[in-house]
């Protein structure tokens, strides 16, 4: 494979079939980190790529209002009121008020049409690191968290990203923190006087903040540390469907991304892993700042970054170099990413590609139109699968109900007969239904396919479809072998 394509495969999403090639690849990768990231997509399958309309990218307040409306209509449906108890009304409610399909399609469009491919790969890494699963009540929030919590914060400090995602309503809802109250909070005291009221701590987010998002179990924290982290978090977040007046009353504001319920907070200072954390709202920032620069966090996440971008088994020198940049720059993500990508380019090792990444690369290289336009996001099509279904079949979706540890980077997790069969079938489906714009031989010439790959493609015979499948499922295009 030509050097430019090798680098794009490893660090990006491949150059689209009609995209001009940069001359200085190393410089290109660094520039990519500064690229603008508008959401580019298509209105329908015959239109050209343009920016997504603003009205399909609502802010948090609007998202919350939609969720509130959804629940209200659903309640009417249950009670048989207001003509809501029929299938048409149920569907209309989902289309009007749930954003999962829209957000997921936008994410796909970004990856298929975006000119910011390296940033998008980093975005996928971090969105996976800070997994927010789709537990239905997070339907309207995951897309926002990826856009505003991850993509918008890729060039800031890790501490900012950690604090931002921890306080994002999506995370606070997914890991149950919106319901967690300090054991000695005013809320709990009130509650304990009544029979039908429960209020107390829920340690779900506190545990994963330490285990998955920052220091990892290697840090050797104990159950008390988890409990204390949960206490620091108590009070953060509010039910996304809460009405505006009540939200103002509980949090003193109307910003879902800064919602802290004072009456639910645990009074007093806390100690997490030896660090004393002050009482009150500011305690969380103090905690996430402490965790963001903890030596175990640096080791855990630097290693994870190296494994994602550089090699399935990065060397200790590579990990060490990234850790050093982390310390030297106080966790500046732009500097850290630059180092990781430099090392990825310098390393001759191949990197096995996630199914999702591979699919985007196949679509970009071939110029296929495999996904609907935003105007068509609710339409049924004989040819095009719904986005949601595509990723379900692929076994990888940021919008699935999944565990907070995210998807693995270990090829062993992905190389099974069944997962491979999915790739064969998607290559097939993209060829059959995707209006592929470049022939297999053209694609091979453009990327500089290896002789082994050419041999493989030739071996399957004259069928253009089989040749396409063979190319896309070759070791070279799957990131399995050096060529």
CA dihedral 411, 416, 418, 420 (to 10 degrees): 60
Half-sphere exposure of 197 (CA within 13 A, CB side): 10
**Could you say whether residue 393 binds another protein (CB under 8 A)?**
yes
Nearer to another protein, 34 or 455 (CB): 455
Q: Which of 34, 59, 271, 405 binds another protein (CB under 8 A)?
A: 405
Stretch that binds another protein, among 59-67, 160-168, 245-253, 424-432 (CB under 8 A): 424-432
Q: Measure the CA–CA gap between 260 and 174, rounded to whole angstroms.
A: 16
Stretch that binds another protein, among 48-56, 141-149, 343-351, 459-467 (CB under 8 A): 459-467
Cβ 359 to another protein shortest distance, Å = 11
Nearer to another protein, 110 or 422 (CB): 422
Question: Using an 8 Å Cβ cutoff, are 358 and 27 in contact?
Answer: no
Q: Which of 108, 145, 150, 199 binds another protein (CB under 8 A)?
A: 199
**Could you say whether residue 379 binds another protein (CB under 8 A)?**
no
**Could you say whether residue 218 binds another protein (CB under 8 A)?**
no
**Could you say whether residue 470 binds another protein (CB under 8 A)?**
yes
Nearer to another protein, 19 or 433 (CB): 433
Q: Measure the CA–CA gap between 351 and 310, rounded to whole angstroms.
A: 7
| Count of residues in contact with another protein, rule CB under 8 A | 62
Burial bucket for residue 377 (CB in 10 Å: 0-12, 13-18, 19+): middle
**Could you say whether residue 348 binds another protein (CB under 8 A)?**
no
- In the structure encoding, which two tokens stand for residue 311, read together? 């090699």
**Could you say whether residue 23 binds another protein (CB under 8 A)?**
no
Stretch that binds another protein, among 6-14, 255-263, 287-295, 382-390 (CB under 8 A): 382-390
Nearer to another protein, 52 or 431 (CB): 431
**Could you say whether residue 385 binds another protein (CB under 8 A)?**
yes
Kindly state the DSSP code that residue 236 receives in the 8-state scheme.
B
Beta bridge partners of 19: none
**Could you say whether residue 65 binds another protein (CB under 8 A)?**
no
Q: Which of 21, 421, 439, 445 binds another protein (CB under 8 A)?
A: 421
**Could you say whether residue 419 binds another protein (CB under 8 A)?**
yes
Cβ 142 to another protein shortest distance, Å = 17
**Could you say whether residue 301 binds another protein (CB under 8 A)?**
no
Question: Using an 8 Å Cβ cutoff, are 316 and 383 in contact?
Answer: no
Q: Look at residues 104, 106, 93, 99 and name the one whose alpha carbon lies nearest to residue 41.
A: 106
Q: How many residues does the chain have?
A: 483
Stretch that binds another protein, among 30-38, 119-127, 171-179, 296-304 (CB under 8 A): 171-179
**Could you say whether residue 181 binds another protein (CB under 8 A)?**
yes
Nearer to another protein, 101 or 289 (CB): 101
**Could you say whether residue 204 binds another protein (CB under 8 A)?**
yes
**Could you say whether residue 429 binds another protein (CB under 8 A)?**
yes
DSSP structure string for 180-217: ---TTSHHHHHHHTSSS-------HHHHHIIIIISS-G
Radius of gyration of the chain (CA): 24
**Could you say whether residue 482 binds another protein (CB under 8 A)?**
no
Stretch that binds another protein, among 11-19, 66-74, 278-286, 408-416 (CB under 8 A): 408-416
Q: Look at residues 438, 435, 431, 433 and name the one whose alpha carbon lies nearest to residue 473.
A: 431
Would you tell me how many other CB atoms lie within 10 Å of the CB of residue 438?
17
Q: Measure the CA–CA gap between 170 and 134, rounded to whole angstroms.
A: 9
Q: Which of 3, 24, 383, 445 binds another protein (CB under 8 A)?
A: 383
Question: Using an 8 Å Cβ cutoff, are 421 and 455 in contact?
Answer: no
Beta bridge partners of 40: 51
Stretch that binds another protein, among 140-148, 206-214, 291-299, 435-443 (CB under 8 A): 206-214
**Could you say whether residue 78 binds another protein (CB under 8 A)?**
no
Q: Which of 51, 85, 258, 432 binds another protein (CB under 8 A)?
A: 432
Q: Measure the CA–CA gap between 283 and 108, rounded to whole angstroms.
A: 37
Reduce the DSSP state of residue 50 to 3 states and report it: strand
- In the structure encoding, which two tokens stand for residue 238, read together? 């509010």
Question: Using an 8 Å Cβ cutoff, are 362 and 477 in contact?
Answer: yes
Nearer to another protein, 212 or 444 (CB): 212
Nearer to another protein, 159 or 429 (CB): 429
Per the listing, tokens 């209105």 go with 43
Q: Measure the CA–CA gap between 236 and 280, rounded to whole angstroms.
A: 10
Would you tell me how many other CB atoms lie within 10 Å of the CB of residue 18?
9
Q: Which residues bind another protein (CB under 8 A)?
A: 175-176, 179-181, 183, 188, 196, 198-204, 207, 211-212, 217, 223, 382-385, 389, 393, 395, 401, 403, 405, 412-422, 424-426, 428-429, 432-433, 452-453, 455-456, 459-460, 466, 469-470, 473-475, 480-481
């Amino acid at each position: 494979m030509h050097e430019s394509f090798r680098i794009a495969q490893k660090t990006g999403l491949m150059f689209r079939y009609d995209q001009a090639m940069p001359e200085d690849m190393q410089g290109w990768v660094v520039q990519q980190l500064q690229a603008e990231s508008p959401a580019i997509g298509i209105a329908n399958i015959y239109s050209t790529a343009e920016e997504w309309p603003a009205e399909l990218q609502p802010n948090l307040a609007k998202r919350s209002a939609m969720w509130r409306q959804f629940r209200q209509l659903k309640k009417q449906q249950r009670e048989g009121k207001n003509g809501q108890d029929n299938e048409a009304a149920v569907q209309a409610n989902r289309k009007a008020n749930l954003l999962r399909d829209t957000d997921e399609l936008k994410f796909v469009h970004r990856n298929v049409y975006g000119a910011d491919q390296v940033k998008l790969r980093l975005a996928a890494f971090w969105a996976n690191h800070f997994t927010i699963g789709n537990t239905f009540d997070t339907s309207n929030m995951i897309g926002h968290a990826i856009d505003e919590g991850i993509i918008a914060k890729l060039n800031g400090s890790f501490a900012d990203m950690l604090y931002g995602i921890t306080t994002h309503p999506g995370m606070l809802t997914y890991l149950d923190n919106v319901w967690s109250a300090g054991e000695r909070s005013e809320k709990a005291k009130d509650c304990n006087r009544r029979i039908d009221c429960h209020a107390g701590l829920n340690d779900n987010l506190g545990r994963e903040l330490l285990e998955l998002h920052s220091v990892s179990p290697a840090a050797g924290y104990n159950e008390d540390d988890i409990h204390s982290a949960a206490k620091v978090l108590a009070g953060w977040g509010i039910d996304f469907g809460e009405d505006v007046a009540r939200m103002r009353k509980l949090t003193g504001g109307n910003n879902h991304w800064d919602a802290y319920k004072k009456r639910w907070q645990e009074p007093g200072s806390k100690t997490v892993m030896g660090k004393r954390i002050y009482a009150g709202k500011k305690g969380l920032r103090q905690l996430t700042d402490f965790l963001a620069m903890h030596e175990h966090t640096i080791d855990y996440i630097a290693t994870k970054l190296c494994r994602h971008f550089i090699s399935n088994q990065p060397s200790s020198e590579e990990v060490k170099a990234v850790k050093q940049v982390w310390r030297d720059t106080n966790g500046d993500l732009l500097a850290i990413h630059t180092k990781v990508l430099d090392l990825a380019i310098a390393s001759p090792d191949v990197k096995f590609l996630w199914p999702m990444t591979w699919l985007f690369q196949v679509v970009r290289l071939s110029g296929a139109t495999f996904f609907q336009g935003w105007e068509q996001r609710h339409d049924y099509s004989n040819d095009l699968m719904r986005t949601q279904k595509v990723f379900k079949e692929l076994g990888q979706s940021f919008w699935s109900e999944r565990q907070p540890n995210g998807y693995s980077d270990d090829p062993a997790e992905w190389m099974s007969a069944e997962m491979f069969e999915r790739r064969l079938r998607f290559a097939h489906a993209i060829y059959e239904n995707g209006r592929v714009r470049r022939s297999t031989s053209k694609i091979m010439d453009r990327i500089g396919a290896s002789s082994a790959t050419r041999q493989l493609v030739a071996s399957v015979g004259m069928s253009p479809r089989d040749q396409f499948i063979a190319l896309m499922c070759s070791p070279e295009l799957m990131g399995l072998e050096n060529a």
